[in-house]
């Protein structure tokens, strides 16, 4: 497949997926999203200063921005920090074409051009060097995450970056996130761009606490999750109430192999039977509250 780059507002590029009818990143900035939604909330700069080795799990590796930004941040803070990266990606042509088109060329580190490392990574699906060990697992992330969990891989930072829940619900389910949480270090952090109530409920059912991260060029924040709730940023009152509406009913995929349609239909039936407040009523209430305060 040929992937055509699309310019985002911060000068970086993304790709459009016809399969999911979405771009891989917000048009407000692919690079900004990597740095502000993933690297900063996971506190990688601080963690690098305190550790000689860091483990990263990049779910839906895509063009490679999240890993590139993470590697650059870690080595800028601690040039000798050893990185162990596991990345999951459905279509290997995405990172291959991103690397070959030079979309990661702006990322650099004390060890040189990060994009050259990730070009080799996309081509061979592995890296072995004195500074980094990396493996790219290609295929359905639902089966690959079980492989990672069985291996005992334990990440200080997990980047959860699938397409949106309505388009790719299979990677936001209670069951999938339960597998993901098994790969998170007890003091680690999981970051995602999504603030969907259904996703946050699934994170809770996976045993994680969560807070809100700043939005990038838009109103909605992202989500940061961990097993340790004490230092997580708080939710707004509006976000807290959202968790008590029908929007908070999570996606379910009991055997981690259902189709998109089946997962969506299952959730819709559960929403129809729910006694929770309709999401439309919550939205109307907060729209009125905002209008009154302006």
CA distance 1 to 200: 34
pLDDT-derived band of residue 106, with 50, 70 and 90 as boundaries? Answer: confident
Give backbone dihedrals phi and psi of 48, rounded to 5 degrees, phi first. -65, -35
Q: Residue 184: enclosing H or E segment and its boundaries?
A: strand 184-192
Dihedral of CA 57/62/66/70: which sign? positive
Per-residue pLDDT, averaged over 221-238, amounts to 93
Give the residue from 226, 228, 154, 153 showing the smallest Cα distance to 191: 226
Assign domain 5-234 to a CATH class: alpha beta
Q: What percent of the chain has pLDDT over 70?
A: 95
Give the pLDDT of residue 288. 72
CA distance 3 to 20: 14
Q: For every residue of 210-256, which 3-state class applies, written as one string?
A: EEEECCCCCCCCEEEEECCCCCCCCCCHHHHHHCCEHHHCCCCCCCC
pLDDT-derived band of residue 290, with 50, 70 and 90 as boundaries? Answer: low
pLDDT-derived band of residue 294, with 50, 70 and 90 as boundaries? Answer: very low
Contact indicator for 188, 222 with CB cutoff of 8 Å:
no
219: pLDDT strictly greater than 60: no
| Segment 163-190, tens digit of pLDDT | 999 999 999 999 999 999 999 999 999 9
113: pLDDT strictly greater than 70: yes
111: pLDDT strictly greater than 80: no
| Stated pTM of the model | 0.93
Per-residue pLDDT, averaged over 216-242, amounts to 88
CA distance 3 to 5: 6
Give the residue from 91, 96, 103 showing the smallest Cα distance to 17: 91
Per-residue pLDDT, averaged over 127-149, amounts to 97
Residues 6+ apart with CB under 8 A from 154: 55, 183, 184, 185, 188
Query: What integer best gives the mean pLDDT of the chain?
Result: 92
Contact indicator for 182, 147 with CB cutoff of 8 Å:
no
CA distances from 183 to 4, 128, 149 (A): 33, 21, 6
DSSP 8-state secondary structure symbol assigned to residue 285: H
| Segment 28-68, tens digit of pLDDT | 788 899 999 999 999 999 999 999 999 999 999 999 999 99
CA distance 178 to 195: 18
Tokens of 180: 């993901």
| Segment 1-12, tens digit of pLDDT | 678 888 888 888
Q: What percent of the chain has pLDDT over 90?
A: 78
Per-residue pLDDT, averaged over 17-21, amounts to 80
CA distance 212 to 234: 6
Give the pLDDT of residue 22. 86
Give the residue from 38, 9, 44 showing the smallest Cα distance to 23: 9
């Amino acid at each position: 497949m040929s992937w055509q780059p699309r310019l985002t507002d911060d000068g970086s590029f993304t790709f459009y997926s016809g399969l999911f009818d979405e771009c891989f990143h917000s048009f407000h900035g692919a690079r900004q999203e990597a740095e502000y939604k993933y690297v900063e909330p996971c506190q990688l700069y601080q963690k690098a200063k305190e550790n000689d080795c860091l483990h990263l799990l990049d779910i839906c590796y895509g063009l490679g921005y999240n890993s590139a930004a993470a590697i650059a941040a870690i080595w800028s803070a601690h040039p000798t920090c050893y990185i162990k990266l596991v990345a999951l990606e459905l279509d290997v042509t995405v990172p291959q074409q991103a690397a070959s088109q030079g979309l990661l060329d702006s990322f650099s580190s004390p060890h040189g051009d990060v994009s050259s490392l990730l070009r080799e990574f996309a081509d061979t699906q592995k890296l072995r060097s004195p500074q980094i060990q990396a493996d790219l697992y290609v295929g359905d992330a639902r089966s690959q995450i079980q492989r990672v969990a069985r291996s005992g891989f334990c990440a200080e930072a997990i980047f959860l970056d699938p397409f949106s829940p309505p388009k790719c619900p299979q990677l936001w389910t209670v069951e999938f996130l339960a597998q993901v949480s098994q790969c998170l270090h007890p003091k680690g952090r999981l970051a995602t761009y999504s603030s969907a109530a259904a996703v946050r409920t699934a994170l809770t059912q996976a045993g994680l606490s969560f807070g809100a991260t700043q939005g990038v060029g838009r109103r909605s924040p992202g989500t940061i999750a961990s097993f340790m709730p004490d230092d997580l940023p708080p939710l707004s009152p509006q976000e807290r109430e959202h968790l008590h509406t029908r929007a908070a009913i999570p996606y379910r995929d009991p055997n981690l192999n259902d189709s998109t349609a089946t997962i969506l239909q299952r959730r819709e039936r559960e929403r129809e039977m729910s006694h929770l407040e309709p999401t439309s009523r919550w939205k109307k209430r907060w729209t009125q509250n905002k209008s009154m305060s302006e």
